Amino acid sequence: IRTKDASFGVTNAKGGFLYAGYKITDKLTPYGVFDYTDYSDFFITSVQSVKAGLRYKFNASAVVKFEYELATSYSIRPEPII
């Protein structure tokens, strides 16, 4: 992803995700998501998150999801010495 911002200028990010779910019944689906984003132009170099959730379908137009997320960020750029 390439973005242009007035404060940061042009920045680049790479990432991807993996989603898996298993439909237990017509209404109930547990699922999991893993995603990774690499912000090469920011101080936070990468972010990883793991999500687990449960999707319940009331009818064709109403769905509710319960989700838990654990996210971790890693920085490998040293802090500037002033």
45-77 confidence digits (pLDDT tens): 788 899 999 999 999 899 999 999 998 877 665
- Per-residue HEC secondary structure of 1-44 comes to CEEEECCCEEEEEEEEEEEEECCCCCCEEEEEEEEEEEECCCCC
DSSP classification of residue 82: -
23-38 confidence digits (pLDDT tens): 999 999 999 999 998 8
The pTM for the full model equals 0.70
CA torsion through residues 25, 28, 34, 37, sign: positive
What tokens does 44 get?
A: 């936070």
